[in-house]
Amino acid sequence: MNIQNPEIENNVFDVRGLNLWYGNDQALKNINMQIEKNKITAIIGPSGCGKSTFIKTLNRMIENVPIVRTTGEILYHGNDIFDKSMRVEELRTKVGMVFQKPNPFPKSIFENVVYGPKIHGIKDKKLLMEIAEASLKSAALWDEVKDRLNDNAYGLSGGQQQRLCIARCIAVQPDVILMDEPTSALDPIATLKVEELMDSLKQEYTIAIVTHSMQQAARISDKTAFFLMGDLIEYDKTEAIFSNPRDKRTEDYITGRFG
């Protein structure tokens, strides 16, 4: 079936009636939301609201938690990710993830970047080098590390390590990059670099980012979703959310009037 609907084509993810439980605790309640192609979507909300759970569901990373149960659909380019025909490894290649704390492997900078491509069977040294260079350039790290690719990644600063993780994610040619508070452990300069990087990456990738920083969400994202206790309260253009939110609960949260 080939539906020529530009709205559908522009949506990378179409989440429909998603519910998620950890055992008996419901963490996500009837979430309906679309994530648009080549846009940065920010997800905000207080701790425990379900925002990290939500993005980890998008590449089924959440299933590493044994007691998780879900209902509803998540269409990724029109295909339900929970369908039996969906290959999870392939989904996670296409939908990569960057975490709060930089987590490079205890290997060289080069080996970190080409880890994914190697697992996917690429052995050619020249090709691996090309992938490493392109990925590090995309992650705005190349100039800083090109002369020490064989140094251990642990020798990099926190900000560099996080960009290395982004490079590692890019190296397997994903379509979507999920980021779970990617700058919360970084200083303002390193944060700025990662934010600038995200802005340039959205030309090629779709990004969803969980952040606790209102200013960060306001600065970098195109659309913002506000979650509260498992509900998606409001989802709109970022400028609307931060200048004139429609829901009182959104207003109370972003102005710090909560609770």
Partner 1 sequence: MREQMEDRIREIHSKVEYMSRLSAGSIGQAMEAFVRQDARIAKQILAQDPEINKLEKEIENLCITLAATQSPLASDLRQMVSIIKIVTDLERVGDYSCNIAEVVISLGKYELVKPLERLPIMEKKVREMLEASLRAYFQHDIELAYATARKDDEVDTLYEEIYRELLHLIKIRENQEDQIIGLILVGRYLERIADHATNICERVILMMTGENVKL
Query: Residues interacting with partner 1, by CB under 8 A?
Result: 214-215, 218, 242-245, 250-251, 254-257
How far is residue 171's CA from residue 165's CA, in Å, rounded to a whole number?
10
Nearer to partner 1, 148 or 248 (CB): 248
Nearer to partner 1, 200 or 255 (CB): 255
Cβ 131 vs Cβ 114: under 8 Å: yes
Tokens representing 136?
A: 């590090």
Smallest distance, Å, CB 247 to partner 1? 11
Smallest distance, Å, CB 214 to partner 1? 6
Q: Which residues contact 176 (CB under 8 A, 6 or more apart)?
A: 12, 13, 35, 58, 59, 94, 95, 96, 205, 206, 207, 208
Q: Which residues contact 25 (CB under 8 A, 6 or more apart)?
A: none
Nearer to partner 1, 135 or 211 (CB): 211
Nearer to partner 1, 20 or 220 (CB): 220
Smallest distance, Å, CB 42 to partner 1? 13
Beta strands in 90-230 (DSSP E): 95-98, 176-180, 206-210, 223-228
Smallest distance, Å, CB 201 to partner 1? 25
Nearer to partner 1, 19 or 184 (CB): 184
Cβ 115 vs Cβ 164: under 8 Å: no
Smallest distance, Å, CB 245 to partner 1? 6
